[in-house]
Each structure stands twice: as C-alpha cells, then as structure tokens.
Chain A
Amino acid sequence: AQSVTQLGSHVSVSEGALVLLRCNYSSSVPPYLFWYVQYPNQGLQLLLKYTSAATLVKGINGFEAEFKKSETSFHLTKPSAHMSDAAEYFCAVSEATGGYNKLIFGAGTRLAVHP
C-alpha cells in the first residue's frame, strides 16, 4: 500500500522567511501527488498537484512543490511566508486499488507564522 510521511507535525517560521514543508511518499508506480491546506474550521483546499507532467509544480498563494523521484519526495515551499499562511498542510498520494484510485493523506503539518 502506498503511504505518505510528513516530517514535522509543527513548523514555525518568521514572516518573510522561507517555508519548507516536507513530504515523502512510498509508491511502486509513478504517483499522483497533492498538497492541501486547511484553515481553522474549514475543509481542505487544493494547493497544487503533480500528475507526471512538469516536476516543479506551481500552486496557489505562491506555493510550489518539486517532485523528486530519486528521493521519493514532494516538498512544499514558499519563498516568503505571510501571516495568512498559518494553517495545516496535508500531503496526499493517489493510490490505485481494485482498479480505482483513492487519496491517502499524511498526518499533516501545522504551520505557524510569527511577526
């Protein structure tokens, strides 16, 4: 079965600093990978997705992620953090099972941004 590991359940950065949220996956076939963001009391919102096209994927709100097959990683970055980026971030992989695909989520990383 495929799985997703997010390193660091909590990450804290200063406003304006680089944001780096780590995600590693396990998959025997080229995966579809996703990053979602969840603001307090909200559902999950898609930030970006990798579907075997360009390895560097740009998403909303200035976020991007790079698919590295050799490292089985899909880390999320943003050059300059903003206070509004404080939220929980989830990495997910699409797993093929029984001819269908389902999303498997990591445990999430809570990002705090301080002035």
Chain B
Amino acid sequence: DAGVIQSPRHEVTEMGQEVTLRCKPISGHNSLFWYRQTMMRGLELLIYFNNNVPIDDSGMPEDRFSAKMPNASFSTLKIQPSEPRDSAVYFCASSRDSVTEAFFGQGTRLTVV
C-alpha cells in the first residue's frame, strides 16, 4: 500500500483565500484524523472521522475550518477565509480501527501570507 497520501505537500496562499487540503487514507482503514502541527502548540487533533462520519470536531479552531469525508477513500480540510495564523503543517492519519496505531501522511505545509 502507498500509505496515507496528502496533497499538496506545500501550499502558499494569500490571506483571505480559500485553501483545500486533501487526504487519501490507507485502503481498509475506517478511522481518519486531521492534525495540525505548529511550534507553539505542537500536535493538535482537529477532527476525527469513523466510517466517514465526523465523530469529534472539538479541535476545529473556528467556523473558518471545515472537513468532509464523502467516501472511505477521500477527505478534505478546507479553510475559508485563510489567515496568517493558520500557517502550520497539517497531517492526515488513518487507522484500521480507533484503538490501533494511526498511520500518518507526509503532511501539507501551509503558509498564509
């Protein structure tokens, strides 16, 4: 398996623009996580899906952030409008069930200028 695939690897955008990050989990995994990593706050869990259903979105910072999982093989994290403080590395991870280890993608480095 190719592992968790995220795109793009790098994104530079201007403040106010919409940004969409994409994730393809490992085939057969039924849990998907979006994390944000910054120097100041470390790794933060943003949202967690199980069987394509959002289970816990308490980590989503504000209404500017939204996430979807239309099917078992694809998820998106959207920021609209983006702000400079959203600059971070965003990771997607998946697991076979919620108690086993999560496998991480390479991340998307987002820079909002």
Point out residues on A near B: beta carbons under 8 Å.
Answer: 32, 34, 36, 42-46, 49, 51, 90, 94, 97-98, 100-108
Q: How large is the interface on B (under 10, 10 to 19, 20 to 34, 35 or more residues)?
A: 20 to 34
Interchain CA distance A53-B77 in the complex, whole Å: 36
Partner of A108, one of B35, B43, B99: B43
Q: Is the CB of B42 within 8 A of A108?
A: yes
Interchain CA distance A86-B4 in the complex, whole Å: 24
Q: Is B25 an interface residue (CB 8 A)?
A: no
- Residues of chain B within 8 A (CB-CB) of A45 are 104
Contacts A100-B56, A102-B98 given; does A44 touch B91 at CB 8 Å: yes
- Residues of chain A within 8 A (CB-CB) of B48 are 100, 102
* Prevailing SS type, chain A contact patch: strand
Q: Is B113 an interface residue (CB 8 A)?
A: no
Interchain CA distance A9-B102 in the complex, whole Å: 23
Q: Return B79 CB to nearest CB of chain A, in Å.
A: 20
- Residues of chain A within 8 A (CB-CB) of B55 are 98, 100
Of all chain A residues, the one with the shortest Cβ separation from B4 is: A43
Q: Is the CB of B98 within 8 A of A101?
A: yes
Interchain CA distance A43-B4 in the complex, whole Å: 10
Interchain CA distance A104-B107 in the complex, whole Å: 18
Name the residue among A32, A101, A104 with the largest chain B CB count within 10 angstroms: A101
- Residues of chain A within 8 A (CB-CB) of B105 are 43
Name the residue among A42, A45, A103 with the largest chain B CB count within 10 angstroms: A103
Q: Return A95 CB to nearest CB of chain B, in Å.
A: 10
Partner of B45, one of A44, A46, A104: A104
Interchain CA distance A45-B91 in the complex, whole Å: 12
Partner of A42, one of B4, B101, B106: B106
- Residues of chain A within 8 A (CB-CB) of B43 are 90, 105, 108
Q: Is the CB of A102 within 8 A of B56?
A: yes
Find residues 54-106 in chain B having any chain A CB closer than 8 Å to their own CB.
Answer: 55-56, 91, 93, 98-99, 101-106
